Chain A
Amino acid sequence: MGNFTKGILKENPIFIIMLGLCPTLAVSTQVVNAIGMGVGVIFVLLGSNIFVSLLKNFIPEKVRIPSYIVIIASFVTMVDLFMQGYAPSLSKNLGVFVQLIVVNCIILGRAEAFAKKSNVKDAVLDALGMGVGFTLGLLLISLIREVLGSGTITLFAIGNFDGVIRLPGLSESPVRVMALAPGALLVIGYLKALFNWTEARRSKEATA
């Protein structure tokens, strides 16, 4: 179980290990993007972790990285194709960042750091934990950015509901910069500082 929970807080890929930052910042303009991206990453992580751990003895050391990358790229392509076919607007919003899941540092990082040494069950748990941790981090960032930067919370359109919750007042004149590039960097910077601060307080209290 520890393999699952560690990814969510203690080794949160975004806030603690600080990997996979590009998609985190680029697609966090809307909550729905964060969910889509998160699902995509979980899928790829699962797939790659399973296959890497299955094939750990088969893959020769010399072509380890290329092999992992091929495995990862295959799953990414699948996600990409399915998104294009069945969730076209999401696919458009995420742009190249779907394909860029390949180079999302988390995925190769987990393959290298964990899956290649573990059995399938642990690899699955690790993938799920990391994926969920990534998604939660992404959700947090996108929630802050979308609420501040657009005054809305965009979810899925169901029936009559167009999927957008509009916050009165803020949605008419939002802090638009928060939805743009600077906002992303500022939000993650302050969130990381908050993490550092609480972490420091926790460790101080733990010893006191």
Chain B
Amino acid sequence: MNDVVNVGGKLALICAVAAIALGLVNAVTAPAIDKVKEQQLSAALDAVRGTAEAGEERLVEGEPIVDGYYALVQDGTSAGYILRLTGTGYAGDMEILAAYRQDGEIKAVALMNNSETPGLGKEAEKPAYMEKYIGTGAGHPVPMNKQQLTQEEADAISGASITFMGIAQALKAGSDYVKEQLGK
């Protein structure tokens, strides 16, 4: 019996001490971690919201691509939406934030979390990459395949057209969502 207590108790003791220590460390780091998360989100929103203000996030249920949206307000009037989208890239899902005008035209896009290949799909993280989508969605269709791009643009995505098509598909779905669900 003594032995049981010796063995079990000692392991329990080590565990418990460890747990307390971790609890304390957690208490120190938890606020920092939360702050990091907030900062990341607001930085991302800043990147696409332009001069407008973003409201609270609303979650969207039952949509495969659109996960949530923020209403944009400029000078007191509604200036469109920022959508949180999930696209499928070469190496799994990609998180996309895109700002739309109320008529569904794309104003700004940013690629967030993704695991695309550096040098290929990851190039889409660069703001310049998204230029081909900007201004499409309402008057012009979102470019969906290479044939709809200029030769220069097509060369730039050579070897990474899956990423390109994945983003395009997500943006188009977002645009449609704005037009059909939010625009009214």
The reply on B10 being an interface residue by CB < 8 A is yes
Question: Which of A63, A73, A85 has the most chain B CB atoms inside 10 A of its CB?
Answer: A85
| Chain B residue at minimum C-beta to C-beta distance from A173 | B119
The reply on A56 being an interface residue by CB < 8 A is no
Query: Mask for B109-130, Cβ within 8 A of A = 1, else 0?
Result: 0000000011110000000000
B117 touches A63 (CB 8 A): no
How far is B25's CA from A85's CA once the two chains are assembled, in angstroms?
Answer: 11
Which of B11, B21, B22 is within 8 Å of A67, CB to CB? B11
The reply on B40 being an interface residue by CB < 8 A is yes
B14 touches A71 (CB 8 A): yes
B40 touches A85 (CB 8 A): no
B33 touches A85 (CB 8 A): yes
How far is B30's CA from A85's CA once the two chains are assembled, in angstroms?
Answer: 7
Contacts of A62 on B, CB cut-off 8 Å? 7
Q: Which residues of A in the span 154-185 have a Cβ within 8 Å of any Cβ on B?
A: 174, 176, 179-180
Q: Which residues of B in the span 5-19 have a Cβ within 8 Å of any Cβ on A?
A: 6-8, 10-11, 14-15, 18
The reply on B1 being an interface residue by CB < 8 A is no
Which of A59, A81, A150, A174 is within 8 Å of B33, CB to CB? A81
B18 touches A60 (CB 8 A): no
Given the contacts A82-B29, A150-B119, A74 and B21 also touching, CB distance less than 8 Å: yes
Given the contacts A66-B11, A82-B29, A85-B36, A74 and B117 also touching, CB distance less than 8 Å: no
How far is B36's CA from A130's CA once the two chains are assembled, in angstroms?
Answer: 33
What's the minimum C-beta distance from B159 to chain A, rounded to whole angstroms?
10
How far is B22's CA from A77's CA once the two chains are assembled, in angstroms?
Answer: 7
What's the minimum C-beta distance from B112 to chain A, rounded to whole angstroms?
11
Which of A55, A63, A78 is within 8 Å of B7, CB to CB? A63
Contacts of B29 on A, CB cut-off 8 Å? 81-82, 84-86
B7 touches A73 (CB 8 A): no
Given the contacts A59-B10, A176-B117, A70 and B25 also touching, CB distance less than 8 Å: no
What's the minimum C-beta distance from A7 to chain B, rounded to whole angstroms?
26
Given the contacts A78-B25, A82-B29, A71 and B7 also touching, CB distance less than 8 Å: no
| Chain B residue at minimum C-beta to C-beta distance from A85 | B32
The reply on B26 being an interface residue by CB < 8 A is yes
Give the dominant DSSP class at A's interface: helix
How far is B117's CA from A174's CA once the two chains are assembled, in angstroms?
Answer: 12
Q: Which residues of A in the span 41-96 have a Cβ within 8 Å of any Cβ on B?
A: 55, 58-60, 62-63, 66-67, 70-71, 73-74, 77-78, 81-82, 84-86, 88
State which size class the interface on B falls in. Answer: 20 to 34
How far is B15's CA from A81's CA once the two chains are assembled, in angstroms?
Answer: 18
A74 touches B18 (CB 8 A): yes
Contacts of A67 on B, CB cut-off 8 Å? 10-11, 14
How far is B7's CA from A150's CA once the two chains are assembled, in angstroms?
Answer: 52
| Chain A residue at minimum C-beta to C-beta distance from B120 | A176
What's the minimum C-beta distance from A121 to chain B, rounded to whole angstroms?
23
Which of A63, A71, A81, A82 is within 8 Å of B18, CB to CB? A71
Contacts of A176 on B, CB cut-off 8 Å? 117-120
Q: Can you identify 28 A-B contacts, CB atoms within 8 angstroms?
A: A58-B10, A59-B10, A60-B7, A60-B11, A62-B7, A63-B7, A63-B10, A63-B11, A67-B14, A70-B18, A74-B22, A77-B25, A78-B22, A78-B25, A81-B25, A81-B33, A82-B29, A84-B32, A84-B36, A85-B32, A85-B33, A85-B36, A86-B29, A88-B36, A150-B119, A176-B118, A176-B120, A180-B117
Nearest 3 A/B pairs, CB to CB: A85-B32, A74-B18, A85-B29
